[in-house]
Structure 1
Amino acid sequence: MFRYVHTNIIAKDCQKLINFYKEVFRCKTIGETRNLRGEWLDRLTGISNAHIVGEHLCLPGYEEDHPTLEIFSYDTMENADSSLNKCGIAHLAFEVDDVEKTLQLLLQKGGSQIGEVVKTKYEDGREAVFVYATDCEGNIVELQSWS
């Protein structure tokens, strides 16, 4: 079997970030909380005395079995720069009913806007609205709507 399972975000404050994704993007608790430690985790992560806490959230538009957004915090973490043009995973994208309304909620909950809200028309006649923003910890998200 092959299937996409989850995307992981390492948070400075996992509970704050979990609440952000629940409130802004309607992710749902599915009862999969984690408080992990042990020799097996040290071997898996390559981190001595690793300790992870957090939760899996069901992504909007999906059933409770997958895919999930896995938000964890380690007792000790590294800091890294986040930008749209860095190598690796750049952003999470959410299709929303109203980009401007969702952006305002995101800003109220501690996120920030990166670029402008852009409206464009594709060659097939579909119209889209996009904006890049960050969650309350600086992770990049894209809001989009289509008509």
Structure 2
Amino acid sequence: MKFSHVSLVARDRDRLADFYTAVFECEDRVERWTMSGEQVSKGNGVANSKIYAAWLSLPGADDQFLEVLQYENFEDRPTPAVNQPGLGHLCFEVEDIHATSAAILAAGGAPLGEVTDLGTPQSPVLCVYLRDPEGNVLELEQR
């Protein structure tokens, strides 16, 4: 058994996928595509599914990837809170937490917390929480 991927459901597949490629240097693994039909609906339990998909490579991960899906008919939900049950956040280890935070904000993301050190004086670990352009929670870590 092995971990395969994480999936984000987007309001706008291309906008969200482009955000992850611009800020986190993800790359399209395959050409973006559309899937629909009885088999898709049977598999996901959503009648008449039409899904626009993107599979993005993740930096530092050879086999695992980020899947960004946009359903033609989606059910909107409130922006998730950091402490709500369910998928909590995506975490990226970065070389410069301040530069990456600025890039997230410039690309349409939003701040949540402040950069803080959760490590020790001998081994600092900086972290901060932000949101991607669709409100998903991101954590940045700099060791």
Q: TM-score, normalization: structure 2?
A: 0.94
Indicate the SS of the match to 1:28.
coil
> What is the 5 A alignment of 1:1-147?
2-63=1-62, 66-81=63-78, 82-122=80-120, 125-146=122-143
Partner-residue secondary structure (3-state), 1:30: coil
Instruction: For 1:114 and 1:78, locate their aligned partners in 2 and report how far apart those are by CA, in whole Å.
Output: 24
Identity between Structure 1 and Structure 2 (%): 32
SS of match in other structure, 1:31:
coil
CA distance in 1, matches of 2:112, 2:105: 11
- The offset of 1:32, in angstroms, is 5.0
Q: Which amino acid aligns with 2:105?
A: L
Which contiguous aligned blocks of 4+ residues in structure 1 show a shift greater than 2 angstroms? 120-123
What secondary structure, in the 3-state scheme, does the structure 1 residue paired with 2:28 have?
Answer: strand
Distance 2:48 2:119 in 1: 52
TM-score scaled by structure 1? Answer: 0.92
> What letter is aligned with 1:116?
E
| Structure 2 contact 32–54 (Cα < 8 Å) conserved | yes
Q: Which segments of 5 or more consecutive residues in structure 2 lack a partner in the other structure?
A: none
Deviation string for 1:62-119 (max 9, x for gaps)? 22xx200000100011122301111111100000000010000100000001011112
- CA distance in 2 between counterparts of 1:7 and 1:77 reads 18
Q: Which runs of 5+ in 1 are unaligned?
A: none
Q: Aligned partners of 2:76, 2:125: CA distance in 1, in Å?
A: 34
Which AA in structure 2 matches 1:42? S
Q: Hey, what's the Cα distance between the residues in 2 that align with 1:134 and 1:7?
A: 17
**CA RMSD, Structure 1 to Structure 2 (Å):** 1.3
TM-aligned CA deviation for residue 54 of structure 1: 1.6
